[in-house]
Amino acid sequence: MDITLVEESPFRFRIERRGAMRVPGTVFATRALLPEAAGDQALEQVANVATLPGVVRASFAMPDVHWGYGFPIGGVAATDVEAGGVVSPGGVGFDISCGVRLLAAGIDRDALEPRLRELMDVLGDTIPRGTGPGGLWRLPGRPQMEEVLAGGAGYAVEQGHGVPRDLTFCEDYGALEEADPSQVGARAVERGLRQVGSLGSGNHFLEVQAVDRVHDEKAAAAFGLRPGGVCVMIHCGSRGLGHQVCTDHVRVMDRSLRRFGISLPDRQLACAPVVSPEGRAYLGAMAAAANYGRANRQLLTEAVRRAFTSAAGVEVDLVYDVSHNMAKTETHEVDGVPRRLCVHRKGATRALPPGHPDLPGELSGAGQPVLIPGTMGTASYVLVGEPGNDAFLSTCHGAGRVWSRHQALRRVRGEELRGRLESEGVAVRPSSWRGLAEETPEAYKDVDAVAAATEGAGLAHLVARLVPLGVVKG
Amino acid sequence: MARDGSAARHGGPRGGHRSVPHTADLRVEAWAPTREECLAHAVRGVCESFVDLSGAVGRRRRDVEVRAETDEDLLVALLDEVVYRLDADGEVPVDAEPAAVPGGVRAVLHMADVGTLAETGAAPKAVTLHGLSFGRGGHGWECSVTLDV
């Protein structure tokens, strides 16, 4: 399909409705950030998502949009629950509740510098990562797993893996109440039993960072961020459990499409009405997997705290924990009428503005922190939600890949990359040389440009820029 | 186009496999004279994307049987087994010997522990239906499958 983009503003493009599209596409980006690699199907995927039953307003793409499968990565779409709207597991992604957690340490980068190597060694030795089993918290069996699936980060804290304050600064206070552990299959549970408290592989990481620049002093202060302050960013999700939940429910929905009279341009968009048994089953399982993801990041937080205590003698507080692979039932005005919508965010972050009723009192004045990981050689960003965001209060989730893993491997060697990063003052603890090379900074869009476009498009505004000091690579 | 694991292994299935670029994921293509040999190459292609299989020896045998209404779904079902075993048990098939049974295939998987193999890349975590194809082509049978890593 040829995609024609109409420029509405320097930060906003429209894909006109055509064919089976029920709504137009809206791409928030500058011309320079638009996907352009030969064969990249991201914009076609934006148009494909616009064909989903019940979709409203537009199929949105964030400035970091890139080619996924089914949904583009960096895609947002909402369906009207009461008007036949569907839920699509592909609109959440395999790594359910993959997200970012930011911690602030009670130390500045200059004071940490002499202890950074030791800290990175401790983190490198204690943070489980890579393929297969090997988490910090081994669950004995399904009963305890069901507690994790129902209670999320709250259950982890209850079991001693954190402090109650942590939960205040988690999206949904660390757990989705609508979780239905009975919809999580045996294989998903088996994959998850030995992975709670592990990064996994791919683009997941744990980074020690420093606040390089503060753009919004008031919001930064509210989030506990100060110039030169040391932070830790954790990017990971629900590991094999989440992937198996998505796999299982996509298979079920793929088989039930004909019964619902749904035809799709891509099988990975498999979906079912939100109110159908298949839709409800998936949403219950998805919420359970999301809770697992939040417990996972909670366990890693505990390991970070131990490392900072032993290597630097300082404490670490949670700034915020936010998911970027989720579907949520939310109420938004559509054509002036409040509607219950199933908002899919696939590689996109919820971004609540100041005063939003879903925010805890501690963040009500400042708004919700939005955590945007960049690359291990460039920067990451903290932003905050803006009112008037018509993408259902959503924003980007990262820099966005531009090179395939193959391209990265052809151009970069892991050993050389580590040497380069170390010479730039970034301590690197890789899981494998190839895995490191695949995540080379050049494989991603310019995160500064993505953050600027996000602000320019009115999706969120900049609070702080963070730079890496050390990275533990999944 | 990237690494090409075609043909040559002595005693292995005829045909070949390779992985091709995709920004988010891993896409594997395989080809062979028969459907079952093509499946064996697809399994090999997936595993070679994240561990070094040269000289690897299977320590354990697993017999899996998968059924599906279409060949495409059969491919997905077999690779689902590979991904599941990797995550749940830390096992990687160093060789696969699929044989046709009514409605599907029975495959003997010769498994090695992933910890004994050199990890060379990000492991697949799920099999997608995006751009999935499996059917007769110029090489006999050809398939293309995208995996989440």
Chosen for mutation from A69, A248, A324 (greatest number of chain B CBs closer than 10 Å) is A69
The catalytic position among A332, A397, A406, A461 is A397
Integer Cα distance of A28 and A182 in angstroms? 39
List B residues 7-66 in contact with A (Cβ-Cβ < 8 A): 19-26, 50
The pLDDT tens digits for A148-181 are 999 999 999 999 999 999 999 999 999 999 999 9
pLDDT-based confidence at B2, cuts 50/70/90? very low
| Whether residue A66 lies in the annotated active site | no
Q: Tell me: pLDDT of B4 over 60.
A: no
Environment class of A24 (CB within 10 Å of its CB; exposed 0-12, middle 13-18, buried 19+): middle
Quick one: average pLDDT of B27-51? 96
- pLDDT for residue B8 is more than 60: no
Residues whose CB is less than 8 angstroms from the CB of residue A376 and which lie 6 or more positions away in sequence, other chains included: A205, A207, A421, A426, A428, A439, A441, A468, A471, A473
Is A202 in Cβ contact with B149 (below 8 Å)? yes
Nearest CA in chain A to B20: A406
* A185 part of contact set with chain B, CB < 8 Å: no
Q: Which residues of B touch A239 (CB under 8 A)?
A: 87
Task: Provide the token pair at A156.
Answer: 């982890």
CA A334 – CA A219 distance, rounded (Å): 30
User: What rounded mean pLDDT belongs to chain A?
Assistant: 96
Tell me the domains of chain A and their CATH numbers.
Answer: 5-402+444-473 (3.90.1860.10)
Average pLDDT over residues A335-355: 98
Stretch A452-457: mean pLDDT: 98
User: Helix or strand or coil: residue B18?
Assistant: strand
Of A152-156, A384-388, B16-20, B34-38, the one with minimum mean pLDDT is: B16-20
* Closest residue by Cα to residue A299 from A106, A142, A153: A153
**Chain A: closest CA distance from residue B19 (Å):** 9
Task: Classify B16-148 by CATH class.
Answer: alpha beta
- pLDDT at B127 exceeding the cut of 50: yes
**pTM exceeds cut of 0.90:** yes
A48 annotated ligand binder: no
Asked if A24 and A55 count as a contact pair (C-beta separation under 8 A), the reply is no
Write the pLDDT tens digit of every residue in A198-222.
999 889 999 999 999 999 999 999 9
Angle at alpha carbon of residue A57, lines to A52 and A60, rounded to 5°: 75
pLDDT band at residue A22 using 50, 70 and 90 as cut-offs: very high
- State the nearest Cα–Cα gap between A172 and chain B, in angstroms: 26
Q: What is the percentage of chain A residues whose pLDDT exceeds 70?
A: 99
Taking alpha carbons only, the member of A146, A446, A173 closest to residue A298 is: A173
Q: What share of chain B is helix, strand, coil (3-state, %, to 5)?
A: 25, 40, 35
Q: Which residues pair with residue B105 across a beta bridge?
A: B66, B100
In the prediction, which pLDDT does B121 show? Answer: 77
Over residues A270-281, the pLDDT tens digits come to 999 999 999 999
- Give the model's confidence band at A471: pLDDT under 50 very low, under 70 low, under 90 confident, else very high: very high
Chain A hits for B119, CB-CB cut-off 8 Å, are 130-131, 431-432, 434-435
Q: List the helix and strand counts (H, then E) for chain B.
A: 2, 8
- DSSP letters along B44-108, please? HHHHHTTB--TT----EEEEEEEE-SSHHHHHHHHHHHHHHHHHHH-EEEEEEEEEEETTEEEEE
Q: Which sequence spans correspond to the domains of chain B?
A: 16-148
Beta bridge partners of B146: B27
A69, pLDDT greater than 60? yes
Which chain A residues touch B22 with a CB distance below 8 Å? 67, 404
| Residues B93, B90: Cα–Cα separation, whole Å | 10
Min CA distance, B11 vs chain A (Å)? 29
Contacts of residue A67 in chain B, CB cutoff 8 Å?
Answer: 22-24
A interface test, pick of B81, B125, B147 with most A CB neighbours within 10 Å: B125
Query: Which of B121, B129, B132 is closest, CB to CB, to A435?
Result: B121
Q: Does A250 touch chain B (CB under 8 A)?
A: yes
What was the ipTM of the complex prediction?
0.90
**CB nearest to A401's CB, from B23, B131, B146:** B23
Q: What's the burial of B99, exposed, middle or buried (CB within 10 Å: 0-12/13-18/19+)?
A: exposed
| Dihedral over Cα of A450, A463, A382, A309: its sign | positive
Residue A35: its pLDDT value, please? 85
